[in-house]
C-alpha cells in the first residue's frame, strides 16, 4: 500500500467502481455479462443455482485494529464460498457491496479489493457486480455468492439419518483462540504505551482467524470418490451449535466423542496456556469454516483413512438427545454456546 492518500470524493461513486473493478478477470463460462451494466447475466447451462449472502460489520464481525484490509477482503469472499461448498455446490460468482466512511481512502479500498481478487482467483470465482455507498461510521461489507450444482445433488441440513456417522474436516477451535490472542494483545497495546503485540509462534491460530480457507479440497474429494453426504453445513458458529442445527432440522439426536474431536497441537498449547479446555474451544468457538457432515455407514471406508477428515460421532433417534461422551466415559448434554448474532 502506497503512502499517498486519494480521497474517494475526488472520484465519485462510478469513478471509484471503475477504478476498483478495472482489472477483473472472468473465470467461468456461466458469467455472460459482469460488472459495467445494470445487472449481471449468468447462464448455468441446465444446472441448479445456489445462492448465499453474508453481512460483515466493523466492530461486530471484525476489528480493523488487528485485521489487515487485504485479509478482510479475502475472508469476506471465503466465508460465503464456504456456505456453497456446504451445499455440495461449486461457487461461480459473487456480488460485493460496501458502505464506508470518509476515514477510508481509495488506497485503503484498493488494499481490500486486492484480497477480494486473490480469493476470486484462488477459488475460480467471478466478481460480477455490487454497490457502494457512504456510512456514518465504520465499514460494512455485504457479499452474495452464487454457485451451481447438478440437478438435485445439493445437500441440506435436514436430511441426516439415524445411524449416520458424523464427520468433520480439518481442525476446530483455532480461530476462536486466535481471536482471544489478538484481543488480549490489543488490550495490552491500548493500556501500556510503547508495548508492541507479541504474536511470535502463533501463526497458526492468528491465520485461522484472519485468513480462513473454504474447503474446496474436501468438496473435490467428495466428487472424486463419489461420496454424497447425507447432511452438511459449515462450522461458523462452533461445533456444538452447528451440530445442533443439523439435529433440529433433521429431527434426530447425536453422540459426539470428545477424544475424536480434532484440535491442532498449536491451538491446544495456547488453550492450556490460557487455562482453557481445548475441547470447549472446539465446541463453542466459531469461524473455523470447516465442513461438518454426516455419511451413511456404508461410506465409512471412503473416509476412514483420509487425512484431514475425522469421524467424531454418530446420529441417534431424537429421543436420545444430543450428548458428548467424554474421555472419562461421562455423558454431557451438548448445548449451543457458539456465536450469537443478537446478544442480550
Cβ neighbors of 280 (< 8 A, separation 6 or more) are none
Residue 97 near residue 142 (C-beta atoms within 8 A): yes
Cell representation of residue 336:
449451543
Phi, psi (deg, nearest 5) at residue 113: -65, -25
| Whether the predicted pLDDT of 16 surpasses 80 | no
Cell 490472542 maps to which residue? 181
Phi, psi (deg, nearest 5) at residue 218: -70, -40
- Position 288 scores a pLDDT of 96
**Model pTM?**
0.89
Cα distance between residue 232 and residue 307, in whole Å: 19
Percent of the chain with pLDDT over 70: 93
| Whether the predicted pLDDT of 238 surpasses 50 | yes
Helix boundaries (H) for the chain: 12-21, 69-85, 106-123, 174-191, 203-210, 216-225, 239-250, 265-273, 278-284, 300-303
Contacts for 30-38: CB closer than 8 Å, 24+ residues apart: 30/92, 30/93, 30/148, 31/92, 31/93, 31/126, 31/128, 33/128, 34/126, 34/127, 34/128, 34/129, 35/127, 35/128, 35/129, 35/130
Cα distance between residue 183 and residue 193, in whole Å: 16
| Whether the predicted pLDDT of 295 surpasses 50 | yes
Percent of the chain with pLDDT over 90: 73
Give mean pLDDT, residues 230-250: 95
* CA separation, residue 28 to residues 45, 85, 215, 298 (Å): 12, 17, 19, 35
Cβ neighbors of 98 (< 8 A, separation 6 or more) are 109, 112, 130, 131, 132, 133, 139, 140, 141, 142
Tell me the pLDDT of the chain averaged across its residues. 90
| Whether the predicted pLDDT of 166 surpasses 50 | yes
- What pLDDT, in 10s, does the model give residues 126-159? 999 889 999 988 999 999 999 998 888 999 999 9
Amino acid at each position: 500500500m502506497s503512502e499517498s492518500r486519494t480521497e474517494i470524493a475526488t472520484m465519485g461513486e462510478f469513478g471509484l467502481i471503475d477504478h476498483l473493478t478495472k482489472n477483473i478477470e472472468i473465470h467461468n463460462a456461466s458469467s455472460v455479462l459482469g460488472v459495467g451494466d445494470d445487472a449481471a447475466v449468468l447462464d448455468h447451462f441446465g444446472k441448479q443455482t445456489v445462492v448465499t449472502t453474508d453481512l460483515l460489520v466493523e466492530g461486530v464481525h471484525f476489528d480493523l485494529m488487528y485485521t489487515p484490509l487485504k485479509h478482510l477482503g479475502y475472508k469476506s469472499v471465503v466465508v460465503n464460498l464456504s456456505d456453497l461448498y456446504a451445499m455440495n455446490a461449486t461457487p461461480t460468482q459473487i456480488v460485493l457491496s460496501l458502505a464506508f466512511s470518509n476515514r477510508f481512502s481509495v488506497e485503503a479500498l484498493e488494499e481490500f479489493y486486492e484480497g477480494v481478487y486473490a480469493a476470486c482467483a484462488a477459488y475460480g470465482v467471478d466478481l460480477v457486480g455490487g454497490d457502494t455507498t457512504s456510512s456514518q461510521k465504520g465499514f460494512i461489507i455485504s457479499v452474495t455468492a452464487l454457485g451451481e450444482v447438478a440437478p438435485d445433488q445439493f445437500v441440506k441440513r435436514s436430511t441426516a439419518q439415524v445411524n449416520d456417522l458424523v464427520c468433520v474436516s480439518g481442525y476446530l477451535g483455532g480461530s476462536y483462540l486466535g481471536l482471544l490472542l489478538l484481543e488480549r494483545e490489543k488490550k495490552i497495546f491500548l493500556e501500556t504505551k510503547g508495548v508492541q503485540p507479541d504474536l511470535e509462534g502463533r501463526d497458526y491460530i492468528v491465520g485461522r482467524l484472519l485468513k480462513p480457507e473454504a474447503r474446496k479440497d474436501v468438496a473435490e474429494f467428495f466428487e472424486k470418490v463419489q461420496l454424497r453426504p447425507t447432511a452438511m453445513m459449515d462450522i461458523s458458529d462452533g461445533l456444538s451449535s452447528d451440530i445442533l442445527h443439523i439435529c433440529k432440522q433433521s429431527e434426530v439426536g447425536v453422540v459426539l466423542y470428545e477424544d475424536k474431536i480434532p484440535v491442532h497441537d498449536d491451538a491446544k498449547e495456547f488453550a492450556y496456556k490460557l487455562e482453557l479446555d481445548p475441547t470447549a474451544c472446539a465446541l463453542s468457538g466459531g469461524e473455523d469454516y470447516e465442513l461438518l457432515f454426516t455419511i451413511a455407514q456404508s461410506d465409512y471406508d471412503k473416509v476412514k483413512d483420509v487425512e484431514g477428515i475425522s469421524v467424531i460421532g454418530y446420529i441417534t433417534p431424537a429421543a436420545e438427545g444430543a450428548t458428548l461422551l467424554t474421555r472419562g466415559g461421562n455423558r454431557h448434554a451438548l448445548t449451543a454456546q457458539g456465536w450469537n448474532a443478537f446478544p442480550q
